[in-house]
Amino acid sequence: MRVGVLNGPNLNLLGTREPEIYGRDTLADVEALVRREAAALGATIDWFQSNHEGALVERVQAWRGAVDGLLVNAAAYSHTSIALRDALAAVGLPFVELHLSNVHAREPFRHASMLAALARGTVGGFGARSYVLALHGLAGLLRGA
């Protein structure tokens, strides 16, 4: 099983950016955690982060036929990007939307997601563990469990 992990804007600043909200783990720490967990599940990870909406859209398109499913932390683009939503719809890959923080306990503009209605599930509020929980959920879906 191959899983693409899409990371949106400002996630490259994890560990130093508002650690009271996002935690102290860096994106490299999160990636290492996800890769370890994926290996235990017999999965491989294709990891990508960009601050640019177009680069995220292009990566989603490139994953069509190359991966079995996606974990998507689109960060702020979750709430604003019709282009990313349309790319996810176009490629038709199953995906789990995830967030480090509980977006529903934050500012009202973060309560709505452009992606959630397309996602097979959503996970948020568990810090770096949100990725692991999302990975387990996606693996179960892909295996039909």
- pLDDT confidence tier of residue 15, bands split at 50, 70 and 90: confident
The helix (run of H) or strand (run of E) holding residue 3 is strand 2-7
Q: Give the mean pLDDT of 53-82.
A: 96
Both tokens assigned to 47? 């990891």
Closest C-alpha among 104, 105, 141 to residue 121 = 141
Active site amino acids: 22, 99
Both tokens assigned to 127? 């810090």
Q: Are strands 2-7 and 44-49 parallel, antiparallel or unpaired?
A: parallel
For 86-119, how does the pLDDT look when each residue is reduced to its tens digit (9 = 90+)?
A: 999 999 999 999 999 777 756 676 667 979 999 9
Rounded distance, CA 105 to CA 124, Å?
10
Residue scoring higher pLDDT (19 or 120)? 120
Where helices occur in the chain by DSSP H, the ranges are: 19-22, 27-41, 53-63, 82-91, 129-143
